[in-house]
Amino acid sequence: MSSPPTILVFDSGLGGLTVLREIVGARPDAHYVYVADDAFFPYGHHDEEAIIARVVPLIGELIAAHAPDLVVIACNTASTLVMSQLRGEYEMTFVGTVPAIKPACASSKTKLVSVLGTRGTVRREYTHALIRDFAQGCEVTLVGSMELAALAEAALSGIEVSDSRILAEIAPCFVASGQDDLKRTDTIVLACTHYPLLLDFFTRLAPWPVHWIDPAAAIARRADHVISDRFPKGAFSEGRPGFSFQYTSGAAPAENLVAALADLRGAKENLRAGV
């Protein structure tokens, strides 16, 4: 085994960087290809058939181009729609991203849990099945946002985002019940990988403290477990990881995005754009 593993991380936009950060921390010896499907962003504005028709062949093209050893679909919307098709179509190992409803409900003390995702994710049968299977007596409030993914991309790009717009999107997550509202939501699932990019806003604007569940660490643990079966830890030098970044539109990453990627283990000199 002469070369380290190649891990392809795919998202509709830049939200998957929250997942990439965690995977790099778990496997700093790997080479990473990050693909943002900005040409079709945001996925929440497309119907299910259009997303499937877009993502399944696109992933095939990316596999052919980059020959990854693992593909991480760092997008809840895509994962809840296309994982079975991808696994049936390609001889490749995939790790997906699904709403972290099970751990959220297991940890909630008040039994009031909210799931904050795109409108497509929260209305999908996959998400409702997770609630039926793992609610564990919790009352689960589903909150679908049309704006937060785009606001997260804007904030990452250095564009000023107003508190009022973000608060309007997260306010329905906060549910109070019982005498004098003593029973309140205590756990909120971030069911879109873009949303942790706005976590500082969320915590500051929340009407009361809650536990925000970011799935990135769990996804990274799964990816690490899967890739380590073929590429044991310690088999390769843990120097700076190599990166390739690709927008499907063909655009070059902005300077601030290059800086953000460079922060992932100091890999600036290894970053190649548009590969």
Catalytic residue selected from 75, 105, 138, 173:
75
Q: With contact defined as beta carbons under 8 Å apart, do 51 and 231 qualify? A: no
Q: With contact defined as beta carbons under 8 Å apart, do 223 and 191 qualify? A: no
Phi, psi of 32 (to 5 degrees): -120, 135
DSSP-derived secondary structure letter, 180: G
Q: With contact defined as beta carbons under 8 Å apart, do 8 and 33 qualify? A: yes
Catalytic residue selected from 105, 138, 173, 192:
192
Angle between helices 148-156 and 163-170 (to 10 degrees): 150
106: which 2 tokens? Answer: 């297991």
- Say whether 105 is catalytic: no
Q: DSSP letters of 181-227?
A: G-EE--EEEEESTTGGGGHHHHHHH-SS--EEE-THHHHHHHHHHHH
What b/e string do you get for 145-166 counting C-beta neighbours within 10 Å, with b at 16 or more?
Answer: bebbbbbbbbbbeeeebeeeeb
- Say whether 173 is catalytic: no
Active site residues: 75, 192
